[in-house]
Structure 1
Amino acid sequence: MSASVPTDAVAPPTRRYLRRHSLTVRITHWLNVLCLSCLLLSGLQIFNAHPRLYWGKFGADPDHAFLSIGSTSTGNELHGYLQLGSLRIETTGVLGVSGEDGTPTARAFPTWLTVPSYHDLGAGRHWHFFFAWLLVTNGLVYLVHGVLRRHFRRDLLPDRDQLAPRHLWREIRDHARLRFAHGAEARRYNALQKISYLAVIFVLIPLMVLTGLTMSPGLDAAFPFLPGLFGGRPSARSLHFITATLLVAFVVVHVVMVLVSGVWNNLRSMVTGRYAIDDEGTES
């Protein structure tokens, strides 16, 4: 006696691979990873030379810094601190005072967070400028490719339905609960991804480049309007630091989302361009 087969049985999901990222996008992505990593570490080396941030055209008085990382001494002991406005936080061992070699040393950021690891402002600037221009060149290649291949319009510009307040709120709740799109919905970036990518590409990175150029005395002489755009070189330096911090925050969230939404699938798509989609089973 044979078993009956339900007529409403659901077939298992089928897996297929889509081409998600072009070769140019993949190459520029990994170059950006390299450039931003070296820019961050060399930038912290430069920041260590004067670990204070100011607003306005002039910035030399430590009492007028809105952010500072420093140290104080009590007897033979050094104490590190991070001060933001009137708020002071003890940070000995990490910021202000660190001692990877066993000897407490006054430095804003520890040696394991700077390039080079030893104190060398000149070398830090050389590293920083080299990877800054590499980032700019790489970004221009990505922009030209995006325009010619309609990458921005096709993949990064949010659809009207994605910008609806109800849809955005649902995506925020789904991300908070670590719920991610599957099947046909996974073919395209969600609204939060598109908005954050566009903000990085067209707001944060251009702002970081412009504020970096403003800190160059030679470029200020050639383009005297640059300091005025940001209210002075000290303000440009502060915005440069804040922008870099926002980029680090974006990268941290981006990496976390990659890990929890399918690390191998996401990594494969950025290495080979192939992204796996599991189509939901259909009734048979």
Structure 2
Amino acid sequence: MPEPRRLVYRHPLPIRIMHWINVLALTLMFFSGLQIFNAHPSLYWGNRSDEGAEILQLGARQDATGALKGVTRIGQHEFTTTGVLGVSRGRDGSPQVRGFPSWLTVPGPQWLAMGRRWHFFFAWVFVLNGLCYVSYAIATRHLQRDLWPTGADWRGIGRSIVDHLRFKHPHGEAALRYNILQRLAYLTVIFVFGAGIVLMGLAMSPRMDAVLAPMVEAVGGRQSARTIHFIIAWGFVVFVLIHLFEVLISGVFNQLRGIITGYYAIDSSPADTSAPRQDTSSESVPAQERPHD
């Protein structure tokens, strides 16, 4: 007989709103960023972008038959990536030279000026939403109470690694607490990825040279800042993919109900199967940072 469950009010309205704003902003920033990258699909280190000094280049060349072949070069190593990177099919079905395929770029297949407008607009949405989240987390003590690792968390890091490798998820009240890997992951996303991608984005702007000159020099130059910005963007992609995988294997309906309505089901004893109740110990924890059922 399945164990009875009860609903806990897990995600308050401000957190749910900020979560979905973040989803929208990050998605459109990423795809518009790829459109901007396509205008010059190469990465460098330092202040200069000299030909032959690329550390990553998405390009094309003709093969022996005259057909276009997509080539991705990382350092001195080349890979054929026709159909995905370097050369992909346009909307008319013909092969076209472009870094990333058109279906990955917004607002259009090749519209640099509008892509920059979209990117900068949603970047400010991301920044303001992030500041609201951090302020809310500090004011409700969610940051200090639920995200900052304790001594017990560090002592349990080995068990957390084993549980994650075995896809073993906590149940009952334990599902309302973070383990050490979750805490470290979310702190990294918020304060390293979030802050880093914004600062590197600003460092790429010539108008910010006077303000951020020491930081630009510290990372090696404007081209270095662009490369770091690109790497962090893909770091966000990896985090999101892992997050979605965890949602899939831990109960999609329960997770979606939590982030849409605020209510989340946990295992309960037979004596505790009453109506939904408020969980005051975890109500300020955002959906993307709560442990999975």
Out of 17, 22, 33, the residue aligned to residue 12 of structure 2 is 22
1:3 paired residue number: none
1:258 paired residue number: 247
Q: CA deviation at 1:280?
A: 5.0
Out of 67, 71, 76, the residue aligned to residue 81 of structure 1 is 71
CA offset digits 1:5-64 (Å, max 9, x no partner) = xxxxxx963312222222211111111100000010000001001111111121232x11
Q: Is the CA contact 2:103–2:109 (under 8 Å) kept in the aligned structure 1?
A: no
How much is the aligned-residue C-alpha RMSD, in angstroms? 1.6
2:58 paired residue number: 69
Give unpaired runs (5+ residues) of structure 1: 1-10
Identity %: 48
1:276 equivalenced with 2:265 (yes/no): yes
1:41 paired residue number: 31
Within a 5 Å distance, the mapping from 1:136-147 to structure 2 comes to 136-147=127-138
Alignment-mate amino acid for residue 101 of structure 2: P
2:166 paired residue number: 177
Within a 5 Å distance, the mapping from 1:67-216 to structure 2 comes to 67-74=56-63, 75-100=65-90, 101-164=92-155, 167-216=156-205
Q: Is the CA contact 1:220–1:226 (under 8 Å) kept in the aligned structure 2?
A: no
The whole-number CA distance in structure 1 between the counterparts of 2:225 and 2:74 is 18
The whole-number CA distance in structure 1 between the counterparts of 2:260 and 2:154 is 30
The whole-number CA distance in structure 1 between the counterparts of 2:227 and 2:166 is 35
Alignment-mate amino acid for residue 266 of structure 2: I
The whole-number CA distance in structure 2 between the counterparts of 1:99 and 1:119 is 13
The TM-score normalised by the length of structure 1 is 0.90
Tell me whether 167-176 or 208-217 shows the greater mean CA deviation: 167-176
Q: CA deviation at 1:237?
A: 0.1
Alignment-mate amino acid for residue 33 of structure 1: V
Query: The residue matched to 1:58 in structure 2 has which SS?
Result: coil
The whole-number CA distance in structure 2 between the counterparts of 1:91 and 1:12 is 49
Q: CA deviation at 1:279?
A: 2.5
Tell me whether 106-115 or 174-183 shows the greater mean CA deviation: 174-183
Out of 57, 66, 74, the residue aligned to residue 47 of structure 2 is 57
Within a 5 Å distance, the mapping from 1:213-232 to structure 2 comes to 213-232=202-221
The whole-number CA distance in structure 1 between the counterparts of 2:160 and 2:178 is 12
Out of 217, 221, 226, the residue aligned to residue 237 of structure 1 is 226
Alignment-mate amino acid for residue 16 of structure 1: R
2:286 paired residue number: none
Query: The residue matched to 2:194 in structure 1 has which SS?
Result: helix
The whole-number CA distance in structure 1 between the counterparts of 2:129 and 2:172 is 33
Deviating beyond 2 angstroms after TM superposition, the runs of 4 or more aligned structure 1 residues are 11-14, 221-226, 279-282
Q: CA deviation at 1:117?
A: 2.5
Q: Is the CA contact 1:12–1:281 (under 8 Å) kept in the aligned structure 2?
A: no
Q: Is the CA contact 1:155–1:188 (under 8 Å) kept in the aligned structure 2?
A: yes
Alignment-mate amino acid for residue 150 of structure 1: R
CA offset digits 1:71-98 (Å, max 9, x no partner) = 1112420000211112211110111000
The whole-number CA distance in structure 2 between the counterparts of 1:56 and 1:13 is 59
Query: The residue matched to 1:38 in structure 2 has which SS?
Result: helix
